[in-house]
Amino acid sequence: MPNIVLTEAVYYILLSLLKPMHGYGIIQNVSKLSNGRVHLAAGTLYGAINTLLEKGWIVALPCEEYNRRKEYAITDLGVSVLKTEYLRLNELVRNGNMFLGGSINE
Amino acid sequence: MNKFVRKVFWIWDLEKEEAWLNKMASNGWILVSVKPFKYEFAPCSPDMKYGIKILCLDKSVTGGNIKNYITFLCESGVEYICLRGDFVYLRKKITNGPFEIFSDNASKIKYLKGFKNKHKSMLISYTVLLLLYALQLILYYYKFAIVFVSIFFLILSVIMLLLLTCLIAKIQKLNREIKRLEKEMIISE
């Protein structure tokens, strides 16, 4: 997997889509995951979803009759990108800990 | 009872139009429809806070499918008001933070570039019109010596020149905003 640095929005979108979700669900989930820090705006999410669909990192699930909202789910490729990013973020945190560890209180 | 207000905004006054619509909303009048030079507002309770946005629907933003784009926005908590040409009027109840369509610099830049291209294509058509009017002016004045018609084309040319100046100023403003965001992106998302 090539070393791709994800944006915060894409990282949280992929993380959310480990469970199939529609657009509004993603916005709410990202806000919940980040304790209200990250507010994904609808236009930004639309652009991100289209790019992720093109890249094959997520798929649109077939719509059910009673639920017209389109749902999305992460693909195997998306999961491997997410894992690579997770390792990269871990490296950042490990190095941060080495230099700042103990001196920062959340 | 709904209120109708007549007002004219040019394409380069979009921010002013948006600011005015937001001011109306904070004064308890929420936009419900837009007709040529006419805005319709419905009263809303003062504790109901709304934000209004006017969005230029460029292909770079919608991916070429306006219907899909608007449907997606509506499913994400945004309310659709109306479509006027390439512009969509949207509103959203303000719960936490202002109403934004784009939340990161990359998507803001992409939108602004599309918006700038819209101005550029207008610039081209306005320039063509200006040249045509100027040509007519020269023709009627020097060749046919019909002063009345020449004055008519002179007025049209001056109007086109003024419109072009406004468009160029707006393009420059958009360029500065894009550059500012791109500079920010060097150190943050």
Does the CB of B95 have a partner CB in chain A at under 8 Å? no
pLDDT (average), residues A40-69: 88
Chain mean position to CA B97: 23
Cα–Cα dist B37/B56, whole Å: 18
ipTM of predicted assembly, 2 dp: 0.84
The residue of chain B with its CA nearest to that of A49 is B72
Report the sign of the C-alpha dihedral through residues B120, B122, B8, B130, in that order: positive
Residue A67 has pLDDT above 80, yes or no: no
Tell me the residue length of chain B.
Answer: 189
Query: Given this model, what pLDDT does residue B103 score?
Result: 92
Nearest to B69 among A7, A44, A46 (CB): A46
Query: Given this model, what pLDDT does residue B97 score?
Result: 77
Query: Given this model, what pLDDT does residue A105 score?
Result: 61
Q: How many CA atoms lie within 13 A of B56 on its CB side?
A: 18
Cα–Cα dist B51/A39, whole Å: 16
Query: Given this model, what pLDDT does residue A66 score?
Result: 62
pLDDT (average), residues A91-104: 86
Residues of B in contact with A50 (CB under 8 A): 63
Q: How many CA atoms lie within 13 A of B168 on its CB side?
A: 9
pLDDT band, very low/low/confident/very high, at A106 (cuts 50, 70, 90): low
| 126-185 in chain B: CB under 8 A from chain A | none
Cα–Cα dist B183/B178, whole Å: 9
Q: Å from A42 to nearest chain B CA?
A: 6
C-alpha distances in Å from residue B154, one per residue of A73, A85, B150? 61, 63, 6
Is residue B130 a contact partner of residue B168, using CB atoms and an 8 Å limit? no
Q: Å from A40 to nearest chain B CA?
A: 6
**Is the pLDDT higher at B122 or at A106?**
B122
Is residue B12 a contact partner of residue B167, using CB atoms and an 8 Å limit? yes
What does each of the 189 residues of chain B score in pLDDT, given as a tens digit? 899 999 999 888 899 999 999 999 989 999 999 998 899 999 988 778 899 999 999 888 888 889 989 999 998 889 999 999 889 999 998 877 789 999 999 999 999 999 999 999 999 999 999 999 999 888 888 888 888 888 899 999 999 999 999 999 999 999 999 999 999 999 987
Residue A60 has pLDDT above 70, yes or no: yes
Query: Given this model, what pLDDT does residue A93 score?
Result: 94
**Is the pLDDT higher at B61 or at A11?**
A11
Query: Given this model, what pLDDT does residue B147 score?
Result: 82
Could you tell me the two tokens for A63? 């719509």
Q: Å from A105 to nearest chain B CA?
A: 23
Q: How would you write A7-53 as a 3-class SS string?
A: CHHHHHHHHHCCCCEEHHHHHHHHHHHCCCCCCCCHHHHHHHHHHHH
The residue of chain B with its CA nearest to that of A9 is B104
Nearest to B104 among A7, A22, A24 (CB): A7
pLDDT (average), residues A81-96: 95
